[in-house]
Chains A and B, each alone.
Chain A
Amino acid sequence: MKVAGERGFEAPREAVWRVLNDPAAMAATMPGVESFDVHDDRHWRANVKIPLGLGTLGMTMDLEKTEEREPDFASLAIKGNGVGAIMNMTTAFNLSDQDGGTKMDWEAEVRIAGPVGSMGQRVLQPIVNQQVQQVLTALEEQVRKAQAG
């Protein structure tokens, strides 16, 4: 499943870059994070419980920064492991200046394997889309916070 889009931020590119590369700020953007461990500057691990109305989907997510070209490009590989589902996600973003702010072009490819992956096909795409929107909105909030702080 591929999703992509762009998002504008009213902040300079460096500020956005800092947020995107700050594990703590990133943790705050992810839904249902219960714990977030930083192994080193390229490897993070999060325990998340993705809240769904019918219960939560618990996952351990290993995040690895696979490429980085400061201050405009980075890509991540994320591997999530949960009961009944395994998620593999690669995501990349590209920052550029735009009207005094920053434009972020992003794309993500999500692959979900296991019973949940196949059972929930009719609902997974909407869920992924929605989670992505939530992350982006939270990201905006983090950028705003970082600007204010």
Chain B
Amino acid sequence: MTETTVTEPLVVEETETRRGYAGRSVPRKEDQRLLQGEGVFVDDVKRHNMGFVHFVRSPYAHAKIRSVDVSKALEHPGVLGTLTGEEAALLTDPFFQISSPPGAHLRDFCLAVGKARFAGEPVAAVVATTRETARDAAELVEVEYEPLAAVTDARRALDDESPVLHDEAGTNLTWEGVYEWGDLDAAFAEADRVVKISELHVDRFNSTPLECNGALVEYNRGTGQWTIITNNQFPGFAAIMMGPAMRVGLDKLRFVTQDIGGGFGNKITSHPQLVACCLLARKLKRPVQWTEWRTDFHLSMSHGNERWFEDTEVAVKEDGTLLGFRTTALDDAGAWLRYEPLGGVIWAQVTPGMYRWRNIRLDFKQVVTNKAPCSPNRGYSRMQHLWFTERIIDIVAHELELDPVEVRKRNYIRAEDMPYETPNGCVYDSGDYAQMLDTALELVGYDELETRRADAEARGRLLGLGIGSTLDSGTNNFGQSRLINPELQFSGNNEVATVKLDIFGEIVVTLGTTPQGQSHETTAAQVVADMLGCSIDDVNVRAGHDSYWNSHAGFSGTYASQFAVTGLGAVRGATELLAGEMKKLASVVLGCSPDDIELAEGQARMKANPEAALPFMALGAIINANNAGLPEDLDVTLNCRYVYRPPFQPPDVERKFGNLTLTYAAQVHAAIVEVDPETGVYEIVDYAAVDDCGVRINPQVVEGQVMGATAQAIGAATHETFTYDEDGNLLTPNFYDYHVPHALDMPPLRTGYLESASPFTSMGTKGMGEGGGAGIHAVCAALQDALRESGNPIVYDSCNPYHRVWELLSDPESSRQRVNVESR
């Protein structure tokens, strides 16, 4: 079933951290509790007297709400109270909008006010003594709707006859921006061929973490503070959204998370539901608990951005040298802008993909439709753009009868070009893409491709190979938000850690992050143990996040491939401070200079005389419990906090130019598919994933991320789709119809890696985890390759369920009409 080969590292930088725990696959600290069912996930938390929240959801994709009558629900035995949109509009202000006008004008509350804009949108909430009763009562809430026409196709959103979702905005075009770098006219003048692609489509899906959203909210009337026990993965963002809306300072919002059952970006935008819970906890004077069920999640939470690429033109030389492209990206944000329109700039972190073309124009238009709101999903906005650039490569190669492998190699940014500044001022830090491609091809058995093709043909199958190459840009410069809205006062990034030495010698690490399976407790402990010269078992990393601990910063959370840089950067900084203090303290006790002290084997000892040593326990005890007589000027607390701040400048808003992210991990995947030409059914028969995320702190953890992202990509490429009918009903609201990969769907996988240390980070690490989009591109490319002899259809959609492959097989011409090659 599975065979995994890890190739030898091709580039290994010797670093200081490589000697100890770092670089090794040490066992995970998280596993003991998780394996015994003793993790604490949000729905596991209970409080005395808590009430259960159930949301009343709009059945209509678009409807005026004429009235909401909760009287029957309130009479139902066991019901504790309700909340309506009208109440919410009185008690809160609309959420802050990231967008410049017209998107800025949206009035978004925690419940629908006056109008429902997607099927499944919460309209009211009911609280009762049991979960079942809350649902019973929710059915008794009488909502009078006046159904309105819905618009579910972004391409129709700007038609005169299409309904406008938000009257305040006056249009469904909520944000647009023109990005242009280089000299397009010159590029097209120089081109031998211009390949025109009329339309490509990145489908709507998300990573469907197995645990849905939830919260338990308590309100302390004495202090006016809410404690929000939740699985939101970006509390820093939730706080910024919620505080102003609830008209309170951020100290009134205490966020607590422990174990989170997967996030993948989909747990960033639960702030509307959290606000509803806060209002209910205050109104009902008791803790309230909300658990989102699977159907609720599919209907209403965090769909990945759906994007159309219209009227693409690619300038290319006869030999396949790519000169540039222009296109219009039409992004479908769904009904609300809950994290959008940041997707309108995030893609620009990877503007040229992995290629050296310098002349690029992209007109970005984002529209709202009567579908669930979009928010980040693994590979957020870059995945869509990289799928597009990879599709260009394969289409150009096929149309020009060139080898897609050669076209990639000819155009890849070269190892010797690193660090490479892209046309829009981003700096790719390191990497060797061509080398990765060679490794991937070797792993997938490229040499035997033609033999295998013939063998498949003899069995009545069409075999194809496809490559997907991507970047996983990590550690955002939030200054890029100014390209969306110059008024915004965000830039840079930060993360926090505290490391302390406690009274009995315990090392306690507190992170600002909110991991959802990324093993932060383990990797942080590896780094700390190495730096303090102690056993990893002596390092206690607190599970989860609690904004009470003072270990959080404005951008705290776990998102956007950054822990290995920001999280570990903070851990490293705090540990360095602590190590310095420990040495200073030891030097005072031992009567020497701090420079004479080393930390090793759980002791602070004199380098020259290791017998003169203080165990960590002694250091902890002296400062915390036995400190009389210490010099007055000894500035040692053994409790160190460090904020890591990556070296960013705000980008140039006028030119839309600047470094938008710090690190660029890379992935090259290769897939082999076999298609049954009679049905369009296909199978991925071989798969290779090569990853380069710089120095790996824990190779097993890194490989786990690569595997998981790959599986998600395979799901997205094959069956996972949030498809709506024209009335705005979601047709895939559960795991019956939304088919995620099962164990039997998995192809054999071989993995390989490179380690190109990042010159921009202290340990050479790069953020990683989101590069799996490569799998979508690889499967699309493999399908197009497999179908070449069957009328040479163009794979134009990111999701290719059997029916779409059948359509390509039975009518290749329709897809071919999307492409036109002009010779110059």
Contacts and interface: CB of A to CB of B under 8 A. Distances in A.
Direct contact of A and B (CB under 8 A): yes
Interface of A: 83, 85-86, 88, 111-115, 117-119, 121-122
A115 B295 contact: yes
A113 B145 CA distance: 12
A86 B728 CA distance: 13
A119 B733 contact: yes
Nearest to B724: A118
Contacts of B59: 85-86, 113-115, 117
Given A111-B727, A117-B729, A118-B731, A86 B737 contact: no
A83 B139 contact: yes
Q: Which residue among A113, A114, A117, A121 has the maximum number of chain B CB atoms within 10 Å of its CB? A: A113
Contacts of A114: 59, 119
Contact of B730 (A85, A86, A118): A118
Measured as residues with beta carbon below 8 angstroms from the partner, the interface class of chain B is 10 to 19
Interface in B703-749: 727-734, 736-737
B737 A113 contact: no
A31 B640 CA distance: 73
A118 B727 contact: no
B60 interface: yes
B147 interface: yes
Contacts of B299: 115, 118
A83 B61 CA distance: 17
Nearest to B727: A111
A113 B119 contact: yes
Contacts of A119: 295, 733-734, 736
Contacts of B736: 119
A137 to B, nearest CB: 29
B134 to A, nearest CB: 15
Interface of B is mostly: loop
A66 to B, nearest CB: 16
Contacts of B728: 113
A66 B737 CA distance: 37
Contact of B60 (A113, A115, A118, A121): A113
Contacts of A83: 139
B495 to A, nearest CB: 40
Nearest to A88: B147
B577 to A, nearest CB: 54
Which 7 pairs across A and B sit closest by C-beta, in order of nearness?
A114-B59, A113-B59, A118-B729, A86-B59, A118-B733, A117-B729, A118-B730
Given A113-B61, A121-B729, 6 more contacts: A83-B139, A86-B60, A115-B299, A118-B299, A118-B733, A119-B734
Q: Which residue among B729, B730, B734 has the maximum number of chain A CB atoms within 10 Å of its CB? A: B729
Interface of B: 59-61, 119, 139, 147, 295, 299, 727-734, 736-737
23 contacts: A83-B139, A85-B59, A86-B59, A88-B147, A111-B727, A113-B59, A113-B727, A113-B728, A113-B729, A114-B59, A114-B119, A115-B59, A115-B295, A115-B299, A117-B729, A118-B299, A118-B729, A118-B731, A118-B732, A118-B733, A119-B734, A121-B729, A121-B737
A88 B731 CA distance: 17
Contacts of B60: 86, 113
Contacts of A111: 727
A43 to B, nearest CB: 17
A123 to B, nearest CB: 11
A85 B60 CA distance: 10
A57 to B, nearest CB: 14
Contact of B737 (A85, A112, A115, A122): A122
Contacts of A88: 147
Q: Which residue among B59, B731, B737 has the maximum number of chain A CB atoms within 10 Å of its CB? A: B59
Nearest to A116: B59
A122 B733 CA distance: 12
Nearest to A113: B59
A112 B59 CA distance: 9
A93 to B, nearest CB: 24
Nearest to B730: A118
A87 to B, nearest CB: 10
A112 B60 CA distance: 9
Contacts of B733: 115, 118-119
Nearest to A121: B731
A113 B299 CA distance: 12
Contacts of A118: 119, 299, 729-733
Q: Which residue among A83, A85, A114, A118 has the maximum number of chain B CB atoms within 10 Å of its CB? A: A118
A60 to B, nearest CB: 12
Nearest to B728: A113
Contacts of A86: 59-60
Q: Which residue among A83, A88, A115, A122 has the maximum number of chain B CB atoms within 10 Å of its CB? A: A115
A21 B732 CA distance: 40
B480 to A, nearest CB: 36
Nearest to A111: B727
A121 to B, nearest CB: 5
A56 to B, nearest CB: 16
A149 B731 CA distance: 47
Nearest to A85: B59
A124 to B, nearest CB: 10
A148 B230 CA distance: 69
Contacts of B295: 115, 119
A23 B139 CA distance: 30
A95 B193 CA distance: 62
A46 to B, nearest CB: 19
A122 B119 CA distance: 19
Nearest to B734: A119
A117 B57 CA distance: 14
